[in-house]
Chains A and B, each alone.
Chain A
Amino acid sequence: MLAEKYSIVSVVAQALRGQRGWKPVWREPEPRAEYDVVIVGGGGHGLATAWYLASQHGITSVAVLEKGYLGSGNVGRNTTIVRSNYLLPGNIPFYEHSLKLWEGLERDINYNAMVSQRGVLNLFHSDAQRDAYARRGNAMRLHGVDAELLDRDAVRRLYPFFDYDNARFPIQGGLLQPRGGTVRHDAVAWGYARAADRRGVDLIQNCEVTGIRVEGGRAVGVETGRGVIRARKIGLACAGNSSRVAAMAGLRLPIESHVLQAFVSEGIKPLVDGVVTFGAGHFYMSQSDKGGLVFGGDIDGYNSYAQRGNLPVVEDVCEGGMALMPGIGRLRLLRQWGGLMDMSMDGSPIIDRTPVEGLYLNAGWCYGGFKATPASGWCFAHLIARDAPHPVATAFRLDRFATGHLIDEKGAGAQPNLH
């Protein structure tokens, strides 16, 4: 065991030694020739899967293969929001399970990922939107999830600096999930990585998978830049690139890769306490502990593997921001970036076996993958370990597109860029 337990005691003790006693948080092992399980993708979902395989199922002969550095995908490129305010029965229990795992995360992995339940507020601007949010809030409550419908005055008490009196689409109220909030995104990857490493999972960076070996209809290993690695089971957790990797096993997926941009402003003293979603445009926002407003909007809307977006969406997002909060005009946008989204055909994810035996798929997270990280790992580990879907993820089947049992939260149909 390389890393010591983290606590105020260890931090102070290390401070007295000039921080010189810390050991690497993860090993840098050479890949072995064979593992019980190989997870392709060292992002949040892959690392969480490895941790839960080890901690929940006792499977420690696990390698996580990452083509770049650990956490180099969307786990480090999102707007850090966690919530379970979904509408459909296929989704709510899963995301609620995830939120519960967030709530216990730092104790589980001995890492402070700064889970901060600041409340997620979805604003509505019309009677129809109010009823739609009431429907959603009621669905949440029926699933035992917290939800409150706020009127305009209640929203105003929480956020007095929104535009209430001069708005093109006046705020009428909002649906609040008090337990929603934010989590320090990179720390999630590092925390899971460290925890999994301590259980003996091999985290192998700079190891791109270039092929999947299928023998007699069964996946038996992967080809990588660092040689062939055989495995009894292979789990794909490489959202953004799921189509590319699945194609190595001859699979076509109901997924397109799209770019979603995210934004952060210069740091300012506390202004925005919780997470807010503007209902009359594409804009959502929170303020990080460091002080930057972290915000985002819609995907750019075209297939892309470029990890960068374009100016029209930058403008659209800032327009939404100014429409909601006309006081942020003089704050400056510090940085914008793009992440690759696995946009699925109904806007919901896939955690399922594939037609290739021994090959498991975790994909299609659209732009909701970060909040799902713990439950995604939990359920994917369960699926891989037991060859049966976890009860909260039974709807995330790969064959639902063929059978028509879709999970289409927005009712947008088979067009990924509308979800």
Chain B
Amino acid sequence: MRIACPFCGPRGSEEYTYLGDATVRRPEGDAPSEAWFAYVYLRDNPAGRHRELWYHGAGCRSWLVVERDMRSHDILSVAPARDMALARGRAA
């Protein structure tokens, strides 16, 4: 798999580390335990498009949000996680 790092260009997936689902949101500290349980453990795990976090550890150290199709491994989009997180913060 080749992931187009927005900073480094397309690189083989072996340069990256995978974390998982990028759609779950860390709750506020005082959130109920159910919210924490859902954040840490529950996953949609769709057989289709999946937004997920990858870390370019052998490159620029950026965390990236990659949208990928679980059935074909086709990569649909890549964006810096920090940009998305900041946008999310502004939207909130």
Query: Within 8 Å by CB, do A and B touch in the complex?
Result: yes
> What range describes how many residues of B lie at the interface?
20 to 34
Nearest CB of A to B10, in Å: 15
Of the candidates B42, B45, B52, B70, the one whose C-beta lies within 8 Å of that of A306 is B70
A415 at the B interface (CB under 8 A): yes
Identify which of residues 31-88 in chain B touch chain A, using a CB-to-CB cut-off of 8 Å.
33-34, 37-38, 40-47, 50, 52, 68, 70-73
A414 and B13 contact, Cβ closer than 8 Å, known pairs A257-B45, A303-B52, A306-B73: no
From the candidates A241, A243, A302, A304, name the one contacting B43 in the complex (CB within 8 A). A243
- Rounded to whole angstroms, the CA-CA distance of A345 and B24 in the bound complex is 15
Contacts of A247 in B (CB 8 A): 44
Q: Is the interface of B mostly helix, strand, loop or mixed?
A: mixed
- Residues from chain A with Cβ under 8 Å of B1 in the complex: 302, 310
Q: How far is the CA of A305 from the CA of B72 in the complex (A)?
A: 8
Q: Return A330 CB to nearest CB of chain B, in Å.
A: 26
One digit per residue, 1 when the CB lies within 8 angstroms of any chain B CB and 0 when it does not, for chain A 254-267 equals: 11110000000000
A345 to B47, CA, bound (A): 18
Q: Is the CB of B45 within 8 A of A255?
A: yes
Collect the chain A residues with CB atoms within 8 Å of residue B41's CB: 254, 345, 401-402, 414
Chain A residues 42 to 94 lying within 8 A of chain B, measured CB to CB, are: none
Q: Give residues 218-274 of A contacting B (CB, 8 Å).
A: 241, 243-244, 247, 252-257
22 A-B pairs (CB sep. < 8 Å): A241-B47, A243-B45, A244-B45, A252-B42, A252-B43, A256-B20, A257-B45, A257-B47, A257-B70, A302-B1, A303-B20, A303-B50, A304-B73, A305-B71, A306-B70, A310-B13, A312-B13, A401-B40, A401-B41, A402-B33, A402-B34, A402-B37
Closest 9 CB pairs of A and B: A243-B45, A254-B41, A312-B14, A401-B41, A252-B42, A305-B47, A305-B70, A302-B18, A402-B37
Chain B residues in contact with chain A, CB under 8 A? Answer: 1, 12-14, 18-21, 33-34, 37-38, 40-47, 50, 52, 68, 70-73
